Structures are given as C-alpha cells and as structure tokens.
Amino acid sequence: MNAGTPRKRPFVLGLGGTTRDDSSTERALRVSLAAAEADGAETAIFTGADLMLPMYRPGPAERTGAAARLIDLFRNLDGIIIATPAYHGSLSGVVKNALDYTEDLRGDARVYFDGCAVGCICCAAGWQAAGQTLAALRAIAHALRGWPTPFGAMINTSLPVFSASGELLDDSTNLQLKLVGRQVAQFAHMRLGAARPTPAPPSA
C-alpha cells in the first residue's frame, strides 16, 4: 500500500487490544472491524504482539520493522478504530505508545489523522472506568485532528460478554461494536469520495 495511491475502497485500520492474543478487547475490535469491512472498507489490524513496540522516541530515530509498518498504516488510513482496555482510569500504556508514533506524521501533507473518522471502543470491568477511558480516547482523537464517530462503544467485561471460545454473547454489545465499525466505514467512504476530482462535463 502506497501513500497517495488512488483507491476505490476506503482503508480502515483496527488498532488496540492487549499484548495477550485474543483478549476481550481484541475480540471486540475484530467484531467492529468486520462490520467496517462488510460496509465496503479494506481493513487491517494491529494488535496483540504487534503492540510490543519500543517506547516512542521523538525526532530522527531508527524505527523497528513493526513501528515502520504501523507508521505506514497510519499514513494510508481513511479511518481508524481504536480499542483499549481501561487500566487505572484511562487507556493502556501500549495503546497510547502506539498512538504516539503518529508524531512521525507531523510534517506530512495530511497531519496525524486530519479529517479521518476515529471509532472508539473501551473494555473495562465496570462502567465508570469505561466512561472515563472513552472520554480520554475522544480527547486523543481530537488532538490528532480526527473526527470521533458519534457513537463510541463501552463494554463491561465483568458481565458475560464473550464465551470461553470467543463467541459474542450479548446482543447489545454486538450492536454497539458493529455500529462503531459502520460509522467509521461510512465516514471514510464520504471522505474518499470527496477527495476524488469531479469529472469534467461532457463536451457539447
């Protein structure tokens, strides 16, 4: 995928989860990302072991292969879905560190996530931490010049949400996650359509 390459389908990145594969947060992210794909988006996910990045170092610095891949994904996205567990009242350190790598886009023609939809998902063992973390994610989306989607999903993992095999048990959670994915995809479709040049009218 090359930055600036014209494409018909918008590209939506799913970022988040934990460093443990198949966490509840990763499962939630995959449900939302699948909804974006069903709505016509091309998708990719950055989760699990991908998140084990070096602490972001500002300024000229050599980037690891995983970090370089993440920066490339950031540069090419038309929308992003961020899913984080709530740790001590806010988003996890590994998700925040991954987002810090957007600083490498500060000199780009499109700075950070300027004009892109940002879907926010929070998983917490209680509603208070989920609400606080959702607010933090929305603030970060604004700081990165993105557009938080009208709906953000909060999942209370102290309730039976996923089965041991990973099946989503709760209909309300399913609807929330799919709505986030669809809203990101729909906004990305509009953004991509607006970026296309208007065809010249036929000659008389």
Give this prediction's pTM.
0.89
CATH of domain 11-195: 3.40.50.360
CB 25 within 8 A of CB 173: no
Residue labelled with tokens 């891949």: 69
Give the Cα separation of 19 and 26 in Å (integer): 10
Q: Which two tokens stand for residue 40?
A: 């016509």
Q: Where along the chain do its domains lie?
A: 11-195
Give the Cα separation of 119 and 113 in Å (integer): 12
Q: Can you list the alpha helix ranges (DSSP code H) found in 39-148?
A: 65-76, 93-100, 127-143
- Encode the chain (204 residues) as per-residue pLDDT tens digits: 554 556 789 999 999 999 998 898 999 999 999 999 999 999 999 999 999 999 999 887 889 999 999 999 999 999 999 999 999 889 999 999 999 999 999 999 999 999 999 999 999 888 888 899 999 999 999 999 999 999 999 998 878 888 887 788 888 899 999 999 999 999 999 988 876 554 555 655
Give the Cα separation of 124 and 130 in Å (integer): 5
**Total number of residues shown for the chain:** 204
Q: Which two tokens stand for residue 58?
A: 């500002």
Q: Which two tokens stand for residue 35?
A: 């909804």
Residue labelled with tokens 């198949």: 22
Give the Cα separation of 38 and 5 in Å (integer): 22
Provide CB contacts within 8 A for 203, sequence distance 6+: none
Amino acid identity at 66: A
